Structure 1
Protein backbone atom coordinates (compact mmCIF):
# COMPACT_ATOMS: atom_id res chain seq x y z
CA UNK A 1 0.00 0.00 0.00
CA UNK A 2 2.87 2.31 -0.77
CA UNK A 3 2.43 4.11 -4.08
CA UNK A 4 3.99 7.55 -3.60
CA UNK A 5 7.37 6.74 -2.06
CA UNK A 6 10.49 7.66 -4.01
CA UNK A 7 14.17 7.27 -3.28
CA UNK A 8 14.28 10.94 -2.23
CA UNK A 9 11.64 10.31 0.41
CA UNK A 10 13.53 7.26 1.63
CA UNK A 11 16.65 9.37 2.21
CA UNK A 12 14.56 12.04 3.92
CA UNK A 13 13.10 9.44 6.29
CA UNK A 14 16.52 7.91 6.95
CA UNK A 15 17.77 11.38 7.87
CA UNK A 16 14.93 11.83 10.37
CA UNK A 17 15.62 8.38 11.83
CA UNK A 18 19.27 9.34 12.38
CA UNK A 19 18.28 12.65 14.00
CA UNK A 20 15.93 10.81 16.33
CA UNK A 21 18.72 8.35 17.15
CA UNK A 22 21.03 11.23 18.16
CA UNK A 23 18.38 12.70 20.46
CA UNK A 24 17.69 9.30 22.04
CA UNK A 25 21.41 8.65 22.62
CA UNK A 26 21.67 12.00 24.41
CA UNK A 27 18.71 11.19 26.62
CA UNK A 28 18.85 8.81 29.56
CA UNK A 29 15.10 8.20 29.47
CA UNK A 30 14.97 6.13 26.28
CA UNK A 31 16.73 3.11 24.84
CA UNK A 32 17.60 2.59 21.17
CA UNK A 33 18.13 -0.90 19.74
CA UNK A 34 20.19 -0.89 16.56
CA UNK A 35 19.52 -4.60 16.09
CA UNK A 36 15.80 -3.97 16.11
CA UNK A 37 16.12 -1.02 13.73
CA UNK A 38 18.20 -3.08 11.29
CA UNK A 39 15.62 -5.85 11.52
CA UNK A 40 12.93 -3.28 10.70
CA UNK A 41 14.98 -2.21 7.68
CA UNK A 42 15.14 -5.82 6.48
CA UNK A 43 11.39 -6.19 6.94
CA UNK A 44 10.82 -2.93 5.04
CA UNK A 45 12.91 -4.17 2.10
CA UNK A 46 10.89 -7.38 1.99
CA UNK A 47 7.68 -5.36 2.10
CA UNK A 48 8.86 -3.24 -0.83
CA UNK A 49 9.64 -6.33 -2.90
CA UNK A 50 6.34 -8.10 -2.25
CA UNK A 51 4.37 -4.87 -2.81
CA UNK A 52 6.06 -4.34 -6.18
CA UNK A 53 5.37 -7.93 -7.24
CA UNK A 54 1.65 -7.77 -6.50
CA UNK A 55 1.06 -4.12 -7.39
CA UNK A 56 -0.26 -5.06 -10.85
CA UNK A 57 -2.75 -7.50 -9.30
CA UNK A 58 -4.13 -4.77 -7.05
CA UNK A 59 -4.26 -2.33 -9.95
CA UNK A 60 -6.21 -4.80 -12.07
CA UNK A 61 -8.81 -5.28 -9.35
CA UNK A 62 -9.17 -1.57 -8.65
CA UNK A 63 -9.57 -0.57 -12.28
CA UNK A 64 -12.10 -3.34 -12.85
CA UNK A 65 -14.16 -1.84 -10.02
CA UNK A 66 -13.66 1.64 -11.51
CA UNK A 67 -15.06 0.46 -14.83
CA UNK A 68 -18.20 -0.70 -12.97
CA UNK A 69 -18.56 2.36 -10.71
CA UNK A 70 -21.93 3.82 -9.75
CA UNK A 71 -20.97 7.49 -10.09
CA UNK A 72 -18.01 9.69 -10.98
CA UNK A 73 -16.65 12.01 -8.30
CA UNK A 74 -13.96 14.22 -9.88
CA UNK A 75 -11.64 16.14 -7.59
CA UNK A 76 -12.62 19.49 -9.08
CA UNK A 77 -13.94 21.07 -5.89
CA UNK A 78 -12.66 21.49 -2.36
CA UNK A 79 -15.69 19.62 -1.05
CA UNK A 80 -14.82 16.53 -3.10
CA UNK A 81 -11.24 16.65 -1.79
CA UNK A 82 -12.59 16.86 1.76
CA UNK A 83 -15.02 14.03 1.08
CA UNK A 84 -12.21 11.84 -0.24
CA UNK A 85 -10.01 12.61 2.77
CA UNK A 86 -12.74 11.79 5.31
CA UNK A 87 -13.80 8.70 3.34
CA UNK A 88 -10.25 7.33 3.23
CA UNK A 89 -9.87 8.01 6.95
CA UNK A 90 -13.17 6.23 7.66
CA UNK A 91 -12.21 3.19 5.58
CA UNK A 92 -8.72 3.17 7.11
CA UNK A 93 -10.19 3.14 10.61
CA UNK A 94 -12.27 0.03 9.87
CA UNK A 95 -9.45 -1.61 7.93
CA UNK A 96 -7.06 -1.03 10.83
CA UNK A 97 -9.57 -2.21 13.39
CA UNK A 98 -10.22 -5.36 11.36
CA UNK A 99 -6.49 -6.13 11.19
CA UNK A 100 -6.54 -6.37 14.99
CA UNK A 101 -9.82 -8.24 15.35
CA UNK A 102 -9.60 -10.79 12.50
CA UNK A 103 -6.72 -13.20 12.86
CA UNK A 104 -6.27 -13.72 9.10
CA UNK A 105 -5.60 -9.99 8.80
CA UNK A 106 -3.63 -9.83 12.05
CA UNK A 107 -1.13 -12.35 10.67
CA UNK A 108 0.14 -9.58 8.37
CA UNK A 109 -0.34 -6.62 10.69
CA UNK A 110 1.33 -8.30 13.70
CA UNK A 111 4.66 -7.64 11.99
CA UNK A 112 4.20 -3.91 12.53
CA UNK A 113 3.51 -4.41 16.23
CA UNK A 114 6.43 -6.76 16.86
CA UNK A 115 8.95 -3.98 17.57
CA UNK A 116 9.62 -3.63 21.29
CA UNK A 117 10.82 -0.02 21.00
CA UNK A 118 8.75 2.71 19.40
CA UNK A 119 10.86 4.90 17.17
CA UNK A 120 10.71 6.16 13.60
CA UNK A 121 12.37 3.06 12.19
CA UNK A 122 9.41 0.99 13.40
CA UNK A 123 7.07 2.91 11.08
CA UNK A 124 8.19 0.79 8.13
CA UNK A 125 8.20 -2.58 9.83
CA UNK A 126 5.32 -3.65 7.58
CA UNK A 127 4.04 -7.11 6.71
CA UNK A 128 4.84 -8.88 3.46
CA UNK A 129 1.45 -10.53 2.93
CA UNK A 130 -1.07 -7.71 2.63
CA UNK A 131 -1.84 -9.01 -0.86
CA UNK A 132 -2.84 -12.35 0.70
CA UNK A 133 -4.94 -10.95 3.52
CA UNK A 134 -6.81 -8.63 1.14
CA UNK A 135 -6.19 -5.27 2.79
CA UNK A 136 -6.93 -3.32 -0.40
CA UNK A 137 -10.53 -4.61 -0.36
CA UNK A 138 -11.43 -2.14 2.40
CA UNK A 139 -10.94 0.78 0.01
CA UNK A 140 -12.76 -0.65 -3.00
CA UNK A 141 -16.11 0.95 -1.97
CA UNK A 142 -14.59 4.40 -2.54
CA UNK A 143 -13.75 3.49 -6.13
CA UNK A 144 -17.12 1.83 -6.70
CA UNK A 145 -18.83 5.03 -5.52
CA UNK A 146 -16.86 7.17 -7.96
CA UNK A 147 -13.37 8.16 -6.79
CA UNK A 148 -10.63 7.33 -9.30
CA UNK A 149 -8.25 4.55 -8.16
CA UNK A 150 -5.20 6.82 -8.44
CA UNK A 151 -6.92 9.43 -6.27
CA UNK A 152 -7.69 6.83 -3.61
CA UNK A 153 -4.18 5.35 -3.70
CA UNK A 154 -2.58 8.79 -3.54
CA UNK A 155 -4.77 9.83 -0.62
CA UNK A 156 -4.02 6.57 1.17
CA UNK A 157 -0.29 7.04 0.60
CA UNK A 158 -0.46 10.52 2.11
CA UNK A 159 -2.39 9.10 5.05
CA UNK A 160 0.41 6.59 5.65
CA UNK A 161 3.08 9.24 5.16
CA UNK A 162 1.48 11.29 7.93
CA UNK A 163 1.78 8.33 10.28
CA UNK A 164 5.58 8.20 10.00
CA UNK A 165 6.20 10.98 12.52
CA UNK A 166 3.85 9.59 15.18
CA UNK A 167 6.08 6.54 15.76
CA UNK A 168 8.19 8.16 18.46
CA UNK A 169 8.47 8.59 22.21
CA UNK A 170 10.24 11.95 21.96
CA UNK A 171 7.18 14.11 21.23
CA UNK A 172 4.90 14.81 24.22
CA UNK A 173 1.17 15.48 24.16
CA UNK A 174 0.21 18.32 21.81
CA UNK A 175 -2.53 20.16 23.66
CA UNK A 176 -5.77 20.82 21.73
CA UNK A 177 -4.51 18.78 18.74
CA UNK A 178 -5.01 15.66 20.85
CA UNK A 179 -8.78 16.06 20.48
CA UNK A 180 -8.95 15.41 16.75
CA UNK A 181 -5.54 14.38 15.36
CA UNK A 182 -3.77 11.07 15.72
CA UNK A 183 -0.68 12.20 17.62
CA UNK A 184 2.45 10.43 18.88
CA UNK A 185 0.79 10.10 22.29
CA UNK A 186 -2.28 8.39 20.82
CA UNK A 187 -0.12 6.12 18.67
CA UNK A 188 2.04 5.11 21.62
CA UNK A 189 -1.16 3.78 23.16
CA UNK A 190 -1.94 1.91 19.95
CA UNK A 191 1.44 0.17 19.93
CA UNK A 192 1.36 -0.70 23.64
CA UNK A 193 0.76 -4.21 24.91
CA UNK A 194 -0.56 -3.04 28.29
CA UNK A 195 -3.97 -4.62 28.85
CA UNK A 196 -5.61 -1.19 29.18
CA UNK A 197 -4.15 -0.01 25.87
CA UNK A 198 -4.42 -3.05 23.60
CA UNK A 199 -6.48 -2.55 20.42
CA UNK A 200 -7.10 1.17 20.85
CA UNK A 201 -6.62 4.26 18.67
CA UNK A 202 -6.95 2.88 15.15
CA UNK A 203 -7.13 6.22 13.33
CA UNK A 204 -4.68 7.26 10.61
CA UNK A 205 -4.62 11.06 10.53
CA UNK A 206 -7.65 11.66 12.76
CA UNK A 207 -8.64 10.25 16.14
CA UNK A 208 -12.32 11.24 15.88
CA UNK A 209 -13.61 7.85 14.71
CA UNK A 210 -12.00 6.19 17.73
CA UNK A 211 -13.83 8.63 19.96
CA UNK A 212 -17.11 8.01 18.14
CA UNK A 213 -16.87 4.22 18.00
CA UNK A 214 -15.55 3.64 21.53
CA UNK A 215 -12.00 2.53 20.77
CA UNK A 216 -10.18 5.59 22.11
CA UNK A 217 -7.77 5.43 25.04
CA UNK A 218 -5.60 8.23 26.39
CA UNK A 219 -1.96 7.77 27.35
CA UNK A 220 -1.64 7.85 31.14
CA UNK A 221 1.53 9.04 32.87
CA UNK A 222 1.07 6.46 35.64
CA UNK A 223 0.82 3.65 33.08
CA UNK A 224 3.65 4.06 30.55
CA UNK A 225 3.26 2.01 27.36
CA UNK A 226 5.10 -1.29 27.02
CA UNK A 227 5.63 -2.08 23.34
CA UNK A 228 5.60 -5.27 21.33
CA UNK A 229 3.46 -8.40 21.16
CA UNK A 230 2.10 -10.21 24.19
CA UNK A 231 3.96 -13.24 22.83
CA UNK A 232 7.26 -11.74 21.60
CA UNK A 233 8.87 -13.15 18.47
CA UNK A 234 12.38 -12.81 19.98
CA UNK A 235 14.19 -12.73 16.66
CA UNK A 236 15.96 -10.12 14.55
CA UNK A 237 15.61 -12.24 11.40
CA UNK A 238 13.30 -10.35 8.98
CA UNK A 239 11.92 -13.61 7.54
CA UNK A 240 11.04 -14.92 11.00
CA UNK A 241 9.44 -11.59 11.91
CA UNK A 242 7.39 -11.49 8.70
CA UNK A 243 6.11 -15.07 8.88
CA UNK A 244 5.95 -15.85 12.61
CA UNK A 245 2.25 -15.12 13.08
CA UNK A 246 1.36 -17.00 9.90
CA UNK A 247 3.22 -20.00 11.32
CA UNK A 248 1.21 -19.80 14.54
CA UNK A 249 -2.03 -19.42 12.59
CA UNK A 250 -1.46 -22.44 10.37
CA UNK A 251 -0.34 -24.51 13.35
CA UNK A 252 -3.62 -23.68 15.11
CA UNK A 253 -5.55 -24.51 11.93
CA UNK A 254 -3.77 -27.85 11.78
CA UNK A 255 -4.63 -28.75 15.37
CA UNK A 256 -8.25 -27.55 15.22
CA UNK A 257 -10.66 -30.48 15.53
CA UNK A 258 -13.60 -29.27 13.42
CA UNK A 259 -14.20 -27.06 10.40
CA UNK A 260 -16.11 -24.68 12.66
CA UNK A 261 -13.03 -24.33 14.86
CA UNK A 262 -10.83 -23.77 11.80
CA UNK A 263 -13.14 -20.99 10.64
CA UNK A 264 -13.00 -19.33 14.05
CA UNK A 265 -9.22 -19.72 14.25
CA UNK A 266 -8.89 -17.83 10.96
CA UNK A 267 -11.60 -15.19 11.28
CA UNK A 268 -12.20 -14.62 15.00
CA UNK A 269 -9.90 -12.36 17.06
CA UNK A 270 -6.30 -13.56 17.44
CA UNK A 271 -6.76 -14.61 21.08
CA UNK A 272 -9.79 -16.83 20.39
CA UNK A 273 -9.46 -20.39 21.61
CA UNK A 274 -11.93 -23.33 21.54
CA UNK A 275 -14.51 -22.97 24.29
CA UNK A 276 -14.77 -19.18 24.06
CA UNK A 277 -18.11 -17.87 22.87
CA UNK A 278 -17.47 -14.12 22.76
CA UNK A 279 -15.29 -13.05 19.83
CA UNK A 280 -15.45 -9.29 20.41
CA UNK A 281 -14.90 -7.59 23.79
CA UNK A 282 -17.01 -4.58 22.79
CA UNK A 283 -19.98 -6.82 22.00
CA UNK A 284 -19.33 -8.69 25.23
CA UNK A 285 -19.55 -5.52 27.29
CA UNK A 286 -22.78 -4.52 25.58
CA UNK A 287 -24.33 -7.95 26.13
CA UNK A 288 -23.43 -8.53 29.75
CA UNK A 289 -23.03 -4.97 31.02
CA UNK A 290 -19.52 -5.68 32.28
CA UNK A 291 -16.40 -3.68 31.63
CA UNK A 292 -14.28 -6.81 31.80
CA UNK A 293 -14.32 -9.82 29.53
CA UNK A 294 -14.16 -13.35 30.89
CA UNK A 295 -11.29 -14.18 28.55
CA UNK A 296 -8.19 -12.28 27.40
CA UNK A 297 -9.53 -9.11 25.87
CA UNK A 298 -7.60 -8.36 22.74
CA UNK A 299 -5.53 -9.71 19.92
CA UNK A 300 -1.79 -9.37 20.40
CA UNK A 301 -1.08 -13.08 20.38
Structure 2
Protein backbone atom coordinates (compact mmCIF):
# COMPACT_ATOMS: atom_id res chain seq x y z
CA UNK A 1 0.00 0.00 0.00
CA UNK A 2 2.84 2.43 0.86
CA UNK A 3 4.48 1.69 -2.50
CA UNK A 4 1.23 2.42 -4.31
CA UNK A 5 0.86 5.74 -2.49
CA UNK A 6 4.40 6.80 -3.44
CA UNK A 7 4.10 5.66 -7.07
CA UNK A 8 0.67 6.42 -8.61
CA UNK A 9 1.32 4.13 -11.59
CA UNK A 10 1.55 1.17 -9.19
CA UNK A 11 -1.85 2.09 -7.76
CA UNK A 12 -3.25 2.41 -11.28
CA UNK A 13 -1.99 -1.05 -12.26
CA UNK A 14 -3.45 -2.52 -9.05
CA UNK A 15 -6.84 -0.92 -9.63
CA UNK A 16 -6.96 -2.08 -13.24
CA UNK A 17 -6.14 -5.64 -12.16
CA UNK A 18 -8.82 -5.48 -9.44
CA UNK A 19 -11.36 -4.20 -11.98
CA UNK A 20 -10.48 -6.95 -14.47
CA UNK A 21 -10.82 -9.61 -11.78
CA UNK A 22 -14.14 -8.10 -10.68
CA UNK A 23 -15.54 -8.38 -14.22
CA UNK A 24 -14.21 -11.94 -14.55
CA UNK A 25 -15.81 -13.06 -11.29
CA UNK A 26 -19.10 -11.32 -12.04
CA UNK A 27 -19.41 -13.34 -15.23
CA UNK A 28 -18.71 -16.50 -13.23
CA UNK A 29 -21.31 -15.86 -10.56
CA UNK A 30 -20.43 -13.13 -8.07
CA UNK A 31 -18.04 -10.87 -6.21
CA UNK A 32 -18.11 -9.94 -2.52
CA UNK A 33 -17.85 -6.16 -2.76
CA UNK A 34 -18.30 -5.80 1.01
CA UNK A 35 -15.37 -8.09 1.71
CA UNK A 36 -13.17 -6.32 -0.83
CA UNK A 37 -14.09 -2.93 0.64
CA UNK A 38 -13.19 -4.22 4.11
CA UNK A 39 -9.78 -5.28 2.77
CA UNK A 40 -9.17 -1.74 1.51
CA UNK A 41 -10.25 -0.41 4.91
CA UNK A 42 -7.74 -2.64 6.69
CA UNK A 43 -5.05 -1.56 4.21
CA UNK A 44 -5.76 2.12 4.89
CA UNK A 45 -5.33 1.52 8.61
CA UNK A 46 -2.02 -0.17 7.99
CA UNK A 47 -0.92 2.72 5.76
CA UNK A 48 -1.29 5.00 8.78
CA UNK A 49 0.43 2.68 11.25
CA UNK A 50 3.25 1.27 9.08
CA UNK A 51 5.26 4.53 8.71
CA UNK A 52 5.42 4.90 12.50
CA UNK A 53 6.51 1.33 13.19
CA UNK A 54 8.74 1.46 10.11
CA UNK A 55 10.88 4.18 11.68
CA UNK A 56 11.35 2.03 14.78
CA UNK A 57 12.22 -1.04 12.71
CA UNK A 58 14.79 0.85 10.65
CA UNK A 59 16.50 1.95 13.85
CA UNK A 60 16.43 -1.62 15.21
CA UNK A 61 17.75 -3.11 11.97
CA UNK A 62 20.61 -0.60 11.85
CA UNK A 63 21.53 -1.38 15.45
CA UNK A 64 21.46 -5.12 14.68
CA UNK A 65 23.70 -4.60 11.65
CA UNK A 66 26.18 -2.72 13.81
CA UNK A 67 26.44 -5.88 15.94
CA UNK A 68 26.98 -8.19 12.96
CA UNK A 69 30.50 -9.71 13.05
CA UNK A 70 30.49 -9.90 9.25
CA UNK A 71 29.16 -7.09 7.07
CA UNK A 72 28.47 -7.93 3.43
CA UNK A 73 28.68 -5.20 0.81
CA UNK A 74 25.35 -3.88 -0.51
CA UNK A 75 26.99 -2.98 -3.84
CA UNK A 76 28.03 -6.59 -4.57
CA UNK A 77 25.57 -8.63 -6.69
CA UNK A 78 26.56 -11.75 -4.76
CA UNK A 79 25.20 -10.17 -1.58
CA UNK A 80 21.83 -9.71 -3.30
CA UNK A 81 21.82 -13.22 -4.75
CA UNK A 82 22.69 -14.84 -1.41
CA UNK A 83 20.35 -12.41 0.35
CA UNK A 84 17.44 -13.55 -1.81
CA UNK A 85 17.91 -17.16 -0.68
CA UNK A 86 18.49 -16.13 2.95
CA UNK A 87 15.42 -13.90 2.94
CA UNK A 88 13.26 -16.63 1.40
CA UNK A 89 14.46 -19.06 4.06
CA UNK A 90 13.69 -16.57 6.84
CA UNK A 91 10.31 -15.74 5.31
CA UNK A 92 9.37 -19.41 5.19
CA UNK A 93 10.04 -19.85 8.91
CA UNK A 94 8.43 -16.51 9.79
CA UNK A 95 5.30 -17.50 7.86
CA UNK A 96 5.27 -21.00 9.31
CA UNK A 97 5.66 -19.64 12.85
CA UNK A 98 2.86 -17.16 12.15
CA UNK A 99 0.55 -20.16 11.72
CA UNK A 100 1.91 -22.20 14.63
CA UNK A 101 2.48 -19.59 17.38
CA UNK A 102 -0.67 -17.84 18.51
CA UNK A 103 1.08 -14.57 19.41
CA UNK A 104 2.20 -14.27 15.79
CA UNK A 105 -1.06 -15.67 14.47
CA UNK A 106 -2.97 -12.82 16.17
CA UNK A 107 -1.50 -10.49 13.53
CA UNK A 108 -1.42 -12.94 10.62
CA UNK A 109 -5.04 -14.06 11.14
CA UNK A 110 -6.10 -10.72 9.68
CA UNK A 111 -4.75 -11.77 6.29
CA UNK A 112 -6.62 -15.07 6.41
CA UNK A 113 -9.93 -13.55 7.44
CA UNK A 114 -11.14 -12.91 3.88
CA UNK A 115 -13.74 -15.49 2.86
CA UNK A 116 -13.17 -14.88 -0.84
CA UNK A 117 -9.73 -15.03 -2.45
CA UNK A 118 -9.52 -11.96 -4.62
CA UNK A 119 -6.75 -9.44 -5.24
CA UNK A 120 -7.84 -6.95 -2.52
CA UNK A 121 -7.35 -9.70 0.07
CA UNK A 122 -3.59 -9.42 -0.63
CA UNK A 123 -3.53 -6.04 1.12
CA UNK A 124 -5.61 -7.21 4.11
CA UNK A 125 -2.61 -7.21 6.45
CA UNK A 126 -2.43 -6.86 10.23
CA UNK A 127 -1.77 -3.60 12.04
CA UNK A 128 0.23 -5.19 14.87
CA UNK A 129 3.29 -6.58 13.09
CA UNK A 130 5.70 -4.68 15.31
CA UNK A 131 3.97 -5.88 18.49
CA UNK A 132 3.87 -9.53 17.40
CA UNK A 133 7.68 -9.55 16.86
CA UNK A 134 7.71 -11.40 13.53
CA UNK A 135 10.34 -8.91 12.34
CA UNK A 136 12.89 -10.76 14.49
CA UNK A 137 13.20 -13.42 11.78
CA UNK A 138 14.47 -10.77 9.38
CA UNK A 139 16.64 -9.12 12.01
CA UNK A 140 18.41 -12.51 12.22
CA UNK A 141 19.26 -12.26 8.50
CA UNK A 142 20.77 -8.83 9.15
CA UNK A 143 22.74 -10.18 12.11
CA UNK A 144 24.30 -12.75 9.77
CA UNK A 145 25.74 -9.82 7.81
CA UNK A 146 23.21 -8.77 5.16
CA UNK A 147 22.73 -4.99 5.06
CA UNK A 148 19.30 -3.67 6.13
CA UNK A 149 18.90 -2.12 2.66
CA UNK A 150 19.21 -5.55 1.05
CA UNK A 151 16.85 -7.27 3.50
CA UNK A 152 14.16 -4.58 3.44
CA UNK A 153 14.26 -4.26 -0.35
CA UNK A 154 14.07 -8.01 -0.93
CA UNK A 155 11.26 -8.35 1.60
CA UNK A 156 9.34 -5.59 -0.15
CA UNK A 157 9.77 -7.30 -3.52
CA UNK A 158 8.74 -10.60 -1.92
CA UNK A 159 5.44 -9.07 -0.76
CA UNK A 160 4.81 -7.37 -4.12
CA UNK A 161 5.34 -10.72 -5.86
CA UNK A 162 2.65 -12.25 -3.67
CA UNK A 163 -0.09 -9.75 -4.60
CA UNK A 164 -1.17 -11.51 -7.83
CA UNK A 165 -1.14 -14.87 -6.02
CA UNK A 166 -4.42 -13.93 -4.35
CA UNK A 167 -6.79 -14.81 -7.15
CA UNK A 168 -8.73 -17.67 -8.69
CA UNK A 169 -8.39 -16.14 -12.16
CA UNK A 170 -4.94 -17.66 -12.81
CA UNK A 171 -4.71 -21.42 -13.23
CA UNK A 172 -1.72 -23.68 -12.85
CA UNK A 173 1.55 -22.56 -14.43
CA UNK A 174 3.14 -25.81 -15.57
CA UNK A 175 6.76 -26.45 -14.66
CA UNK A 176 6.95 -23.20 -12.65
CA UNK A 177 4.78 -24.88 -10.02
CA UNK A 178 7.80 -26.96 -8.94
CA UNK A 179 9.94 -23.98 -7.95
CA UNK A 180 7.79 -20.88 -7.50
CA UNK A 181 4.95 -20.02 -5.22
CA UNK A 182 1.99 -19.66 -7.58
CA UNK A 183 -1.69 -18.70 -7.33
CA UNK A 184 -2.53 -22.40 -7.22
CA UNK A 185 -0.20 -23.03 -4.27
CA UNK A 186 -1.40 -19.91 -2.49
CA UNK A 187 -5.04 -20.88 -2.87
CA UNK A 188 -4.22 -24.08 -0.99
CA UNK A 189 -2.44 -21.99 1.65
CA UNK A 190 -5.53 -19.83 2.21
CA UNK A 191 -7.90 -22.77 2.47
CA UNK A 192 -9.57 -23.42 5.81
CA UNK A 193 -10.30 -27.02 4.84
CA UNK A 194 -8.69 -29.41 7.32
CA UNK A 195 -6.44 -31.14 4.78
CA UNK A 196 -4.87 -27.80 3.77
CA UNK A 197 -4.32 -26.07 7.09
CA UNK A 198 -0.73 -24.88 7.61
CA UNK A 199 0.80 -25.49 4.19
CA UNK A 200 2.67 -23.63 1.43
CA UNK A 201 4.45 -20.99 3.49
CA UNK A 202 6.90 -19.83 0.82
CA UNK A 203 7.08 -16.26 -0.46
CA UNK A 204 8.51 -16.30 -3.97
CA UNK A 205 9.78 -19.90 -3.80
CA UNK A 206 7.95 -23.10 -2.90
CA UNK A 207 11.13 -25.19 -2.57
CA UNK A 208 11.36 -24.93 1.23
CA UNK A 209 7.83 -26.27 1.58
CA UNK A 210 8.80 -29.24 -0.57
CA UNK A 211 12.00 -29.68 1.45
CA UNK A 212 10.39 -29.46 4.91
CA UNK A 213 7.18 -31.36 4.15
CA UNK A 214 4.66 -28.52 4.28
CA UNK A 215 3.73 -28.55 0.59
CA UNK A 216 0.17 -29.33 -0.48
CA UNK A 217 -1.04 -29.23 -4.08
CA UNK A 218 -4.35 -27.57 -4.83
CA UNK A 219 -6.96 -30.23 -5.64
CA UNK A 220 -7.95 -30.66 -9.26
CA UNK A 221 -11.01 -28.58 -9.99
CA UNK A 222 -10.53 -26.29 -6.98
CA UNK A 223 -13.47 -26.27 -4.59
CA UNK A 224 -11.52 -24.91 -1.62
CA UNK A 225 -13.15 -22.76 1.05
CA UNK A 226 -11.38 -19.69 2.44
CA UNK A 227 -11.37 -17.72 5.66
CA UNK A 228 -10.76 -18.56 9.30
CA UNK A 229 -11.67 -21.90 10.85
CA UNK A 230 -13.81 -20.19 13.48
CA UNK A 231 -15.70 -18.31 10.76
CA UNK A 232 -15.16 -14.61 11.55
CA UNK A 233 -16.73 -12.71 8.62
CA UNK A 234 -16.83 -9.00 9.52
CA UNK A 235 -16.83 -5.88 7.33
CA UNK A 236 -15.46 -3.71 10.16
CA UNK A 237 -11.71 -3.03 9.60
CA UNK A 238 -11.04 -2.49 13.33
CA UNK A 239 -12.71 -5.78 14.29
CA UNK A 240 -10.87 -7.58 11.49
CA UNK A 241 -7.53 -6.17 12.65
CA UNK A 242 -7.98 -6.88 16.36
CA UNK A 243 -10.37 -9.81 16.65
CA UNK A 244 -7.74 -12.52 17.20
CA UNK A 245 -5.92 -10.47 19.83
CA UNK A 246 -9.24 -10.17 21.64
CA UNK A 247 -9.85 -13.91 21.43
CA UNK A 248 -6.34 -14.71 22.64
CA UNK A 249 -6.37 -12.28 25.58
CA UNK A 250 -9.80 -13.57 26.60
CA UNK A 251 -8.39 -17.09 26.73
CA UNK A 252 -5.32 -15.87 28.62
CA UNK A 253 -7.42 -14.08 31.24
CA UNK A 254 -9.43 -17.25 31.81
CA UNK A 255 -6.26 -19.32 32.31
CA UNK A 256 -4.75 -19.78 35.77
CA UNK A 257 -1.13 -18.83 36.30
CA UNK A 258 1.62 -17.36 34.18
CA UNK A 259 2.68 -20.71 32.70
CA UNK A 260 -0.83 -21.46 31.48
CA UNK A 261 -1.10 -18.03 29.91
CA UNK A 262 2.27 -18.39 28.21
CA UNK A 263 1.20 -21.75 26.81
CA UNK A 264 -1.77 -20.04 25.21
CA UNK A 265 0.29 -17.16 23.79
CA UNK A 266 3.13 -19.33 22.52
CA UNK A 267 1.13 -22.44 21.64
CA UNK A 268 -0.66 -23.28 18.42
CA UNK A 269 -3.75 -21.25 17.47
Do both share a fold (TM > 0.5)?
A: yes
SS of residue matched to 1:196 = helix
Task: State whether structure 2 residue 59 is matched by structure 1 residue 60.
Answer: yes
**Number of the residue aligned with 1:79:** 78
Range 150-159 or range 70-79, more displaced: 70-79
Bigger RCO (CA 8 Å, 6+ sep): 2
Shift of 1:69: 1.5
1:3–1:154 CA contact under 8 A, matched in 2: no
1:3–1:153 CA contact under 8 A, matched in 2: no
1:189-204 equivalences under 5 Å are 189-204=188-203
Range 157-166 or range 5-14, more displaced: 5-14
**Number of the residue aligned with 1:21:** 22
**Number of the residue aligned with 2:236:** 237
Relative to structure 1, is the Cα distance of residues 103 and 149 closer, same or farther in structure 2, using a 3 angstrom cutoff? Answer: same
Q: Deviations over 1:234-281 (max 9, x none)?
A: 3100001011000000000000022221011000001xxxxxxxxxxx
Structure 2: how far apart are the matches of 1:223 and 1:177? Answer: 19
**Number of the residue aligned with 1:267:** 266
Shift of 1:15: 1.8
1:174–1:183 CA contact under 8 A, matched in 2: yes
1:134-153 equivalences under 5 Å are 134-153=133-152
**Number of the residue aligned with 2:176:** 177
Segments of structure 2 that go 5 or more residues without pairing to the other structure are none
Structure 1: how far apart are the matches of 2:26 and 2:69? Answer: 54
Structure 2: how far apart are the matches of 1:59 and 1:3? Answer: 16
Shift of 1:25: 1.3
Structure 1: how far apart are the matches of 2:57 and 2:119? Answer: 28
Q: Deviations over 1:4-47 (max 9, x none)?
A: 5524222321221111111111224xx31000000000000111
SS of residue matched to 2:194 = coil
1:127-138 equivalences under 5 Å are 127-138=126-137
> What is the aligned residue count?
267
1:72-111 equivalences under 5 Å are 72-111=71-110
Structure 1: how far apart are the matches of 2:133 and 2:12? Answer: 30
Shift of 1:57: 0.9
1:120–1:168 CA contact under 8 A, matched in 2: yes
**Number of the residue aligned with 1:50:** 49
2:79–2:146 CA contact under 8 A, matched in 1: no
Q: Deviations over 1:107-135 (max 9, x none)?
A: 00000000000010100000000010012
- Which structure shows the bigger proportion of residues in helix conformation? 2
SS of residue matched to 1:220 = coil
**Number of the residue aligned with 1:158:** 157
2:162–2:203 CA contact under 8 A, matched in 1: yes
Shift of 1:3: 6.6
Range 228-237 or range 109-118, more displaced: 228-237
1:200-239 equivalences under 5 Å are 200-221=199-220, 224-239=223-238
Q: Deviations over 1:175-217 (max 9, x none)?
A: 1111010000000000000100011000000000000001000
Structure 2: how far apart are the matches of 1:40 and 1:223? Answer: 23
Range 246-255 or range 135-144, more displaced: 135-144
**Number of the residue aligned with 1:290:** none
1:4–1:154 CA contact under 8 A, matched in 2: no
1:62–1:140 CA contact under 8 A, matched in 2: yes
Structure 2: how far apart are the matches of 1:42 and 1:53? Answer: 18
